[in-house]
Amino acid sequence: MIPFNDLKPTHVLLVKELEEALRRVVERGWFILGPEVEAFETAFAAYHGVAHAVGVANGTDAIELALRAANVGTGDEVITVAHTAVATVCAVEQAGATPVLVDIDPKTYTMDPVAAEAAITPRTTALLPVHLYGQPADMTALCDLAKRHHLLLIEDCAQAHGARHAGRLVGTFGHMATFSFYPTKNLGAYGDGGAVLTDDTRLADRLRRLRNYGQTSRYYHAERGTNSRLDEMQAAILAVKLTYLDQHNEIRRKLANHYTQRLEQTIQPWVREQTYHVYHLYVIRHPRRDALMAALKRREIGTLIHYPIPVHLQEAYTDLGYKPGSLPVTERTARKVLSLPLYIGLALDDVEHVAQAITDFEKEAPDG
């Protein structure tokens, strides 16, 4: 049995440091917005070379609060993609804005800058590209697009901790960048967590108010905020894991490279030049995806689909007005992509076994 994911090996590798971090929190007796959060925020900002990191409760809140901090809300349009976790679109609506969904690049599955530009209207306020599967979106083109049209640029980095575009870390291109620390992420907590990065002190100050009921000091509320606070235990865990992020990303890249060496070029992930892909997911494309998925299951190999139904075709979002065929590249992609096992602790022999299973499937008859 090769599971799709397994978080236990990472814990085993770091158990002494993690237990010490948790013991420190418990002994101090301070559990919300304390020194551990402050220390992690400082370290996370320093890792990226930006001025501010603001910890929040989860990645969805990170996007919502980033938009709210920049006064994006009712009447505003935010351009993003439908080929993403629904959280991206959910956060835009929670901020009161209207999500405008555009098609993706057929090779990288990230926002198509040409499609994004075509979707700009007088109500467009922000671009929200998603760095998907661990690969950055085309930030050279998207930064230029945002600058030419005077748009707010917020990066959704939930799947791309430590990824780079043209030698520069994701999270450092836009006015703000949002992160999720969901347990399966390359930098994952032991529960929910998120953060917003920015070089803008005014935005950072407002984010800190908004995450804590709009408070500027205890029991004084300058504006209406919410409760979205990264807790001390998660911050302590993340601080430990952050020191291993680059090392663990290299392990992921080694595993991914082994897959790539063994798989046919036609189904491999396509990596843009000048891109440092961190392989949050190793996603292949296959014309008989469902049959391949079933064949791998029979051989006790776990797989998942990211994502089987694009947001614009989800029942919950029919009121956005999109129909089948509205985003043809996105829809074709959703019918073909398949995520293979890839995680810290996965053995090269396991990668070889998965790759061989795919090769065996390719040799079968189409209906075999």
| Residues near 110 by beta carbon (within 8 Å), at least 6 away in sequence | 81, 104, 129, 130, 131, 132, 135, 136, 137, 138
pLDDT, residue 368, reads 46
Instruction: Say what the pLDDT of residue 364 is.
Output: 85
Average pLDDT, the chain: 97
Torsion sign (Cα): 145, 148, 151, 157: positive
| From 132-136, 157-161, 323-327, 361-365, the region with the lowest mean pLDDT | 361-365
Over residues 32-81, the pLDDT tens digits come to 999 999 999 999 999 999 999 999 999 999 999 999 999 999 999 999 99
CATH architecture of 245-363: Alpha-Beta Complex (3.90)
What's the chain's length in residues?
A: 368
Percent of the chain as helix, strand, coil, to the nearest 5: 40, 15, 40
pTM over 0.95: yes
Cβ-based neighbour number of residue 45 at 10 Å: 20
pLDDT at residue 366 greater than cutoff 70: no
- Does residue 196 have a pLDDT over 50? yes
When pLDDT is averaged across residues 293-306 and rounded to a whole number, the result is: 98
Helix (H) or strand (E) holding 81: strand 77-81
- Topology of the domain comprising 8-103+111-242: Aspartate Aminotransferase; domain 2 (3.40.640)
**283 close to 337: Cβ distance less than 8 angstroms:** yes
Cα separation, 78 vs 100, in Å, equals: 6
- pLDDT value at position 365? 57
Query: Strand 124-127 vs strand 152-156: parallel, antiparallel, or unpaired?
Result: parallel
Q: What is the pLDDT of residue 253?
A: 98
What are the boundaries of each domain within the chain? 8-103+111-242, 245-363
